[in-house]
Amino acid sequence: MSDDDPGRRLEEVGTDPDPRFTLANERTFLAWVRTGLALSAAGLAAVEFLSSQREAVRLAIGLPLILLGALTAFASHGRWEANERAMRLGHPLPLSRLPRVLALGVGFVAVAAIVLAVAKP
């Protein structure tokens, strides 16, 4: 097996990077997890506490936020591992679609929330 083999355990790949970079990667991972948790909490709050809106409106706003939160949390570990593996091998850090997906998702939910709030009967 080569160092580039994604099936190899992370500890068996390349050499240990500077601990500062590993810790920065871990802080970024934790920030992604916090973002996922915040999105999920915001979605749950929208579903449960927007009592001035119909149930369909609450679900239309809340469920996409919860889904984005779950996606962010699930994707964050893969991003952390890919970055750690690249650092251990001395490769450039891989690009990720996660920031774009998250930004577009939050933007679409925000626009939908505005439309639904203005269209309130």
| pLDDT tens figures, 40-87 | 999 999 999 888 778 888 899 999 999 999 999 999 999 999 999 999
Residue 31 in any domain: the answer is: yes
Residue 5 in any domain: the answer is: no
Residue 30 in any domain: the answer is: yes
Residue 1 in any domain: the answer is: no
Residue 2 in any domain: the answer is: no
Residue 83 in any domain: the answer is: yes
The answer to whether the beta carbons of residues 25 and 80 sit under 8 Å apart is yes
User: Inter-axis angle of helices 98-118 and 55-89, to 10 degrees?
Assistant: 170
**Distance separating alpha carbons of residues 26 and 40, to the nearest angstrom:** 21
Cα 66–chain centre separation: 11
Residue 6 in any domain: the answer is: no
| pLDDT tens figures, 1-50 | 565 666 788 888 889 999 999 999 999 999 999 999 999 999 999 999 88
Structural domain range at position 99: 18-118
Residue 11 in any domain: the answer is: no
Find all residues with CB under 8 Å of 44, minimum gap 6, and list them. 62, 66
